[in-house]
Structure 1
Amino acid sequence: MREQQMLDAGVRAFARSGYRNASMDDIAELAGVSKPLVYLYLNSKEDLFTACIRREAAALVTAVRAAVERDAPADRQLWSGLSGFFAHTAEHPDGWTLLHVQARTHGQPYAREVAAMRTEIVEFVTQLIAAAAREHAREAARARTLAGTEVSGLAHALVGAAESLADWAGDGRAGAPSAKEAAATLMNFAWAGLGNLLQGRGWAPERIG
């Protein structure tokens, strides 16, 4: 329980003040414990930062996986996964800032932690897109089969777009979308494009002369 309090405080401090400016004194005060106790549980500021990153990364991956409606049609599965992603990042803005900003800008050990999380999400989205393509192929006689590189590329593009939209949705500005609106925006972009691609109506450079 105390360790989770310290991690909560660490996430908040690192996200709002940055790694360099967040002090162990501040984190101990936020957690309502003594600084020696923070060191007893988490050894150092570097170890605390790593522990915060790992916890938030695991929570995000778990939220996305749990949100997917497993027995639903492929489009519903992708929609529910995206909705889960945006809902989690909206509900945990400090955690998202820690992962998407702080961890990526303070050295390779921390960036690798986030890269591992991103790889896991991309692999999961790849599976969802591949399942969608197979389902579409069964329903439409003229649908073509996507190459593995196409599926992987689409998954990377979708995850990158989701990260950008999560930043936009969470910046607090007027007109920023809700989690469901962000998911719908990305589904409209991705699903329509996937349908055209499966029907052989993909874009090609030669079309612009």
Structure 2
Amino acid sequence: MPRAERERQMLDAAVRVFGERGYRAASMDEIAELAGVSKPLVYLYLNSKEELFTACIRREAQALVAAVRAGVRTDVAADRQLWDGLTAFFAHTAEHPDGWAVLHSQARSGGEPFVAEVGVARDEIVAFVTALIAEAAGEAHQDPVRAEREVAGLAQAVVGAAEALAGWANTDPSVSAREAATTMMNFAWSGLGNLMAGRRWSVPS
């Protein structure tokens, strides 16, 4: 079997075991058995349990980012781009529950090096959402740099809410990607739409 295919097979098994058991409880013996290889072969290819888990994080993060970017059309309005991105995000996390568990929960409980790996992919998605919101704000106010700090904060809020919603949706098979994306748009874009129109909420006097 070609090396790349063998590595894919091992990573598939590792993602499943790490996703179900977490980093500390996962066994290299179980991963090797599920992959249909010997444990020494796993170590030969990926050196250590830590490197194997890191490889899983990187692969799943890259796949998620690629899925979101591929799902977004650039020739439509900003709200439609956000909708497309959210739908692609929720579809991917639902289709790859173990991969999402590795990124969303298991990596965060595994320690700082793993948190940093997830953070790289999260920063890319946040930057993507920030650009969408900033573009819409610029079009609405003819001022591309208006409220730059506020736009960055809104992007963080949207991504954080989407992550939490994906964690919930994956526990309920009846929640479709489209339904989850609609929930997020009703939550996020209603407020963003008001912001684009210059209608800001303020503390009641």
TM-score class normalised by the smaller sequence: over 0.9
Corresponding pairs, count: 201
TM-score (norm 1): 0.91
- The aligned counterpart of 1:117 is 121
Structure 2 alignment gaps of length 5 or more: none
**Residue aligning to 2:50:** 46
SS of the residue aligned with 1:181?
Answer: helix
Partner residue, 1:188: 186
Match 1:70 to one of 67, 71, 74: 74
Sort the Cα spacing of 1:127 and 1:186 in 2 relative to 1 into closer, same or farther, 3 A: same
**Deviation of 1:191 (Å):** 1.5
Q: Map Cα deviations across residues 132-185 of structure 1 (whole Å, 9 max, x no partner).
A: 2233346xxxx9974101110110000000001101110136xx5211111111
Q: Deviations over 1:76-121 (max 9, x none)?
A: 1111011111010000000000001110011100010011111111
Which residue pairs with 2:169 in the alignment? 169
Q: Distance in 1 between matches of 2:145 and 2:50?
A: 47
Could you say which residue in structure 2 is the equivalent of 1:198? Answer: 196
Amino acid at match of 1:183: A
1:10 equivalenced with 2:14 (yes/no): yes
Quote the sequence identity (%). 66
Contact 1:74 1:135 in 2 (8 A): no
Structure 1 residues not aligned, in runs of 5+:
none
Give the distance between the partners of 1:99 and 1:144, measured in 2 at CA: 33
Q: Aligned AA for 1:157? A: A
Q: What is the 5 A alignment of 1:19-30? A: 19-30=23-34
Distance (Å, rounded) in 2 between the aligned partners of 1:170 and 1:152: 27
Matched residue SS, 1:109 = helix
The residue aligned with 1:155 is: 155
Between 194-203 and 68-77, the greater mean CA deviation after superposition: 194-203
Give the TM-score, by structure 2 length: 0.93
Between the aligned partners of 1:109 and 1:195, the Cα distance in structure 2 is 38
Partners of 1:107 and 1:127 lie apart in 2 by: 30
Check conservation: 2:134, 2:144, Cα contact below 8 A. no
Alignment partner, residue 133 of structure 2: 129
| Divergent runs of 4+, >6 A | none
SS of the residue aligned with 2:62?
helix
Instruction: Measure the CA separation in 2 of the matches of 1:197 and 1:128.
Output: 14
Q: Cα distance, 1:187 vs. partner?
A: 0.9
Letter in 2 for 1:152: A
